[in-house]
Structure 1
Amino acid sequence: MCSVKCSRCIGTSLYPLVLISIICNIVLFFPGGDVKYARDGHITQEVRYMGGLVGGGFMVLIPAIFISMTGENGCCGFRFGMFFSIVFAAMGVAGGLYSFIVAGLGVHYGPLCNNGGVWNTPFKNSNPSYLTNQKSWRVCTEPKNVVQFNIGLFFTLMATSGLQVLLCAVQMINGLFGCLCGAGNKNEEA
């Protein structure tokens, strides 16, 4: 597959991943589907870091747009455009890594919840991990099912950002080949 077609495929594949990241991060602000927790500041620091919105969202959206344009015939389908696709793909890798790390910390530390009348993160220093001990999840009385809520959304962010990093890394390699060897396009401008 030539560099142009590969760029178009990668750019198009990044759009739904960006959308999933943004949606997951926004939903994390409303545990239990209620705005009162965000309003009262009862959300974890990892949600406030906005890894899915900033990292997996906007920091990957900008490269996705440019990478898609690199794949368009007549628009940046030459060596210069492929070189810049490497730079933008590196930005996408950085954004995906930021989202992955923040989501990983969110899973590791667990949710902020009401634990016997006190708002804290009861699983932050748990040993063994709270993920394997579902009975321990009962310590969180409010918001309802917040542990499952956080685990599901943060794992989704980790999977999504992992794919973003992989696709952007592939584009960096593809851009390098396109830059050195040409875009594989008959209308290529050198």
Structure 2
Amino acid sequence: MFNIKEIFSITLILFSVIDIIGSVPMVISLRKREGKIHSGRATIISGVLMILFLFLGQSILKLFGLDVESFALAGAIIMFIIAMEMILGVTLFRDDPDSKGSGSIVPLAFPLIAGAGTLTTILSLRSVYDSLNIVSGIIINLVFVYIVLKSTNWLERKLGKSGFGVLRRVFGIILLSIAVKIFKENLHFTS
């Protein structure tokens, strides 16, 4: 049953976790490296991932013998490497000529938009909110993600080269902090 208050709450929670505004410097860097970002493809793939994870997430993880913490740790490691690239201005991932254009999927659709944080949040929301309201919140966020992805050229022109460099490093540090936080919260030692 549609509940506007629930949809609003879910939308705000997912907006803060997805943090597409904070990912703009990474998106611009990715576009420069790849040549082009397929905004529609990235938005649709991340949406499919989120909705599939809403309904099948725990079952998929169990199928592979994984828990949510392991999934979150893997996403945190990828985010850590991306953040290091942003901060240091280096490329740690070797460019594979056969994978040109795949940047719309990895790392854009996953893990930047539909990352471990987003997917584990969706699993948590499912225990509190109605699935229909969660899907509505996901769709509202995807519309905003698409608009931001389409606006990166304009944003880059407004920021300029030096503004983009500063912003990229600042958001790299923020992304690094988020990766460390996810890593710390999901790392459990057994004795």
Q: Does TM, scored on the shorter chain, surpass 0.5?
A: no
Higher CA-based Rg: 1
> Structure 1-normalised TM-score?
0.35
Higher helix proportion (structure 1 or 2)? 2
